Structure 1
């Protein structure tokens, strides 16, 4: 399963920090296979003049988004991110080269008008309006700041990064002029806004937490809600006739829940028109044989991770045990077994802030390198010893048993689980499985911290530092996306503050690596491998597929004539 990481917006960003390989297919020397084999975007790019006017496209959800506020702690999912580009206000657009630019449909300009003190000015497109007919104004920005700055504990944001450093959001020359004054330097200022939500449904904790639960009260995109059926788990969008931007080519977009294992069959039957293959080799191989499918790949900041829970009284609350688990896992063998058919020379990912193909990436993972002998020493030091003739380590008469939680129907998670169980068994750790309902996985297990270990995918953003703060900082009163409640004994929070105060891009990249090095020492989590962004898409569907560091523009998606 996948979650989006984002701190200040849907996709927080580091200005000018990302660089992608320019190639698109074909083997070239050097670097990871993903850099050599995947370009910045592969979507069957076509001018809209070559597309039919009208029609529907069917897209799959892996799970039903019960919370439609992407900024709320239960809302940050890849499924909602995919929908959000069609129906939500999106002031900035992620580009395939890893940069962002103002979305002209919502912003006519976005500038940093002062660095000391830091002040940003956003000018809203006067045509921009919500589906209830009201204009988008500075008050909407102010409501988003108040909801997501962490000052009122009744709000439950996924992250407070960026907004927590803002002192005020004020009206400028008119209602479409927004002045954002920072109390602390925040170098990734463009990342404070992802999807913008309306003040009319965002101005109180109840509105923020509950108005978007099970419903979508207001939209502001090229499409609007036609049908939302939580029982049948179907969402149908239709063109919004009041949309002021480029007219979409499609009449409707239909999203329906289809479990990962069922998606290839649904694709073959025509029930869905695209499948997010990701690292699923079985799906990849099945779609390779489908004559209607086009396999589209792109380099992307998506990666698999093994998360730990530091709950008091459990084995993983001891950093030595977490380090031992990391050293007991042969990530190279795991990656090859799981996605070798898609990325033949896959290798371990050794950084949690930057991915390969992204400026700033370096190997910081020596602490977690595969070394079963050292893993055994760490466990011995932690008091978990192997009894004579035994296979499972014990401490005070209790066996060293750790549960791995993952959602039912996710073959990649299950396959990884079998490998982790085998590898960790060799160093005396017994791994058991807790397979849970896919629709309860995020809210009842991940968000609630109801697990010991869990494997999943992080869907990265163009803002690798600010999008990571909610994942890696520790606040006992607001867990954010630090689902395992891993404490901060290495000064990680202070390093994030240092990064935000650094406006020099090169210097900020170095601080990002210092954060990652501290995370290795903390035994925070174990990055496994960079996940391929691979999609199987109907051949005649244009401008949709593997977007890499970019994002879908639903006004250009359509069927070729």
Structure 2
């Protein structure tokens, strides 16, 4: 699901303007970001076909293997740094997946869902400029119809264990002119649907779903209309529930809201969730490109105190998430990231490598005091509370940290995807299969000139051994061996100080019992906690169910950076686009009604 927009790809000339930490004002940053977007398109096209030597010089390729490099200690160098990692040659000869599409499966206009739609999804994902991630689809050699257009035969060049993550949201082939470039499609509407509802309208204020009269499934839409509206501030969510402005909202739980939740006609349920928050460090460039500096910084953060100060109010029984960027316990021992705090050792590391405290107490080397820009989205009280608590402690420990926040659109669509940050707190979604780790952490997934600035590894972590293990895990069909391989990767992450996992959020659903009913809690633990709204009841008979969400998508394209927003995926694509598998409330992948049964897997 989650979550990954990240198509702000940069060039040497323009990024040096935009990524500077001394950009004077927001309007200047916005103007320069526009320059990046324009130049990015030119750079990506020219690099891809290698036409002009001028473009090659603008997209200079530099080698990198994950080691510290003084040349990239400056954030302006981010666009020029590349990684020459190549996955090891596969030990197998590939696999074939045969899907049988349900005979009755049709789109909203009555046309049949066929192999052409699977092929269009593969083509769009693999070739659209600015595609969020090609991981998995880059293993596919062909997608063809079998004995009929209702049978899909997908041929892969290697065994791909996490195949269930493929084709999770289909693109209707007839909805686009060119399936190899859909970057300019779906600007203000997704016009197709293979689910119970179809999208009637979308704008900045509301999204309206109406029944898809051609839907073939047993889980037909119950309510005539479902409306989704943005309610970004936590206080507004609660007041909107109290006033009846919205019927349902899902959010993190705060103890101080308990009296509100105990009122008549307001119900709530808390369930374990698949979202987790971590502290991430940009290793591609900036101060954390230095392994020594990064190690000492990580050892200066007391996560136990942070948990008590920021997360205990959310859930008094909260415990630190110490597995890493994963919540599926089969793939971790549970202590990979334990005992990271050691302030005395941090001081020894810095002093032993030539760092000294200057007159105001900050670490300095060769006359330079690294500036650490901690970016977050304004209005997120939890993250702002974390900044208010941790920044003074980190400054006291000698690190020149400052808040560098912007609104959620800037944060998700610009700063994080362009890696214009040093430190960030990011909420991610863990999936039942660890295959998602490859696209997030392998060296070849770091956006760079070598891969045309495509990839989800926005942290810049490159460890050849870990990348080899990730690809080996994707190839391993023995679940025990695969789990062991993933655990090795998590240990390498901890040793390289890639991140600090903090907390796995519970999901809390809050709703008005006098306005909405049915299986409200049915999917509350899943990555899509209100994905079953087609089964909800319009109790008050006003003709619609209104769902409030804390973030609002700024675009609807299901292939490009738009899809990196979990809220975009939850509110739009997953509600209209059929897929081969879905994640259940208890954390399993199951075949959807798009297929007649389990696909047939054969290894060549």
Superposed, 1:69-148 pairs within 5 Å as 117-148=94-125
Q: Is the CA contact 2:195–2:215 (under 8 Å) kept in the aligned structure 1?
A: yes
Question: Structure 1 residues 441 and 286, CA, compared in 2 at 3 Å: closer, same or farther?
Answer: farther
The correspondence for 1:292, drawn from 265, 289, 292, is 265
Task: Work out the CA distance in 2 between the residues paired with 1:213 and 1:383.
Answer: 53
Distance in 2, matches of 1:391 and 1:529, equals 31
Q: CA RMSD in A?
A: 2.6
Superposed, which structure 2 residues align to 1:422-501 within 5 Å?
Answer: 422-463=392-433, 465-475=434-444, 476=448, 477=451, 478-484=453-459, 486-501=460-475
> Can you list the C-alpha shifts for 1:469-504, whole angstroms capped at 9, x where unaligned?
2211233224422223x1413422211110011101
**What is the aligned counterpart of 1:553 among 532, 540, 554?**
532
Compute the TM-score of the two structures, normalised by the length of structure 2.
Answer: 0.68
Find 1:317's aligned residue among 289, 297, 313.
289
1:188 Cα offset (Å): 1.6
Q: 1:237 to 1:373 in 2, by over 3 A?
A: same
| Offset at residue 375 of structure 1 (A) | 1.9
Structure 2 residue 550 is matched with structure 1 residue 542: no
Structure 1: 5+ residue stretches without partners: 7-114
Range 202-211 or range 314-323, more displaced: 202-211
Q: Which has the higher helix share?
A: 2
- Name the SS for the 2:357 alignment partner: coil
Mark the CA change 1:179 to 1:544 in structure 2 (over 3 Å): closer, same or farther: same
Larger-Rg structure = 2
Distance apart, 1:211 and its partner CA: 0.5
With over 3 angstroms needed to count, the CA separation of the structure-2 counterparts of 1:223 and 1:281, relative to structure 1, is: same
Q: Which moved more, 1:294-303 or 1:165-174?
A: 294-303
Q: Distance in 2 between matches of 1:555 and 1:192?
A: 24
Alignment match, 1:159: 133
Tell me, in whole angstroms, the C-alpha distance in 1 between the residues paired with 2:366 and 2:259: 49
Alpha carbons of 1:143 and 1:423: their partners in 2 closer, same or farther (altered >3 Å)?
same
TM-superposition CA deviations, 1:87-108 (whole Å, max 9, x none): xxxxxxxxxxxxxxxxxxxxxx
Unaligned runs of 5+ in 2: 6-91, 541-604
Counterparts of residues 109-508 of structure 1 (less than 5 Å): 117-149=94-126, 152=127, 154-201=128-175, 204=178, 207-230=181-204, 233-246=205-218, 247-261=220-234, 262-278=236-252, 280=254, 284-285=257-258, 287-312=260-285, 314-355=286-327, 358-366=329-337, 369-387=340-358, 390-463=360-433, 465-475=434-444, 476=448, 477=451, 478-484=453-459, 486-508=460-482
Q: Deviations over 1:258-292 (max 9, x none)?
A: 1133211222221222222225555x446435443
Contact 2:109 2:214 in 1 (8 A): no
Contact kept in structure 1, 2:277 and 2:504, CA below 8 Å: yes
| CA-CA distance at 1:512 after TM superposition | 1.1
Distance change in 2, residues 1:136/1:382 (3 Å)? farther
CA pair 303-537 structure 1, distance change in 2 beyond 3 A:
same
C-alpha distance after superposition, 1:100-146 (max 9, x if no partner): xxxxxxxxxxxxxxx97421111111222222432211111112222
What is the number of equivalent residue pairs in this alignment? 441
Report 1:38-57 matches (<5 A). Answer: none
TM-score under structure 1 normalisation?
0.73
